[in-house]
Amino acid sequence: MSPNLPKTVDLVNQSQGKSADAVFDAVHNVMHLYRSMQLRGLRDSTRDPAHELTHMEYKVLGFFARHPGASQSELVAHSGRDKAQVARLIKGLRDQQLLDAQVDETDRRSTRLRLSPLGRNVIDSLEGMGAHVSNLAVQGMSAEECTQLLSLLMRIKGNLEAEAGAAPAADKD
């Protein structure tokens, strides 16, 4: 910068950057609190230490709830997670008797996974807790406000997808 020109401060872009950071901090904090309340609700309702799931264990159970009979490889491809991490998660869930495994009839090297009856109960409880926490979160908001918030969040999602070069796709787990 020239010594003859005064230094200018771009307050508009600086405040927008801080505002954008604040939005994503708030979104992160809201989702963390939502998941925490959901999982705590499961623990409190069952009083069973076996139901102290991590966030990733919950995501894996949710995947197999929506894709019964999927393989570990399909979960790896869907989640983008490391094979070893997924293998550990699945082993832990099988040890807790939340997932059942069956050898694939067409490819004996592959195993098909689905929720066990206990796993189904856990997912149903978590989804019920999720609905409760979601309703609690928007308490006092009008239908118009909820619609506006959803519209703004979808706009943010679209901006990110456009920048990433991704076609708008269904939400990942």
The pLDDT of residue 9 is 53
Q: What's the confidence (pLDDT) of residue 6? A: 58
pLDDT on residue 53: 81
DSSP notation for the chain: --TTSPPP--HHHHHHHHHHHHHHHHHHHHHHHHHHHHHHHHHHHH--GGG---HHHHHHHHHHHHSTTEEHHHHHHHH---HHHHHHHHHHHHHTT-EEEEE-SS-TT-EEEEE-HHHHHHHHHHHHHHHHHHHHHTTT--HHHHHHHHHHHHHHHHHHHHHHTPPP-PPP-
pLDDT at 34: 86
The pTM of the whole model exceeds 0.75: no
* pLDDT value of position 15: 53
Residues of the chain with pLDDT under 50: 1, 12-13, 50, 170-171
Share of the chain above pLDDT 70, in %: 80
Question: Which domains, from first to last, does the chain contain?
Answer: 17-140 (1.10.10.10)
Report the pLDDT value the prediction gives residue 171, as an integer from 0 to 100.
47
What local confidence, expressed as pLDDT, does residue 32 receive?
A: 87
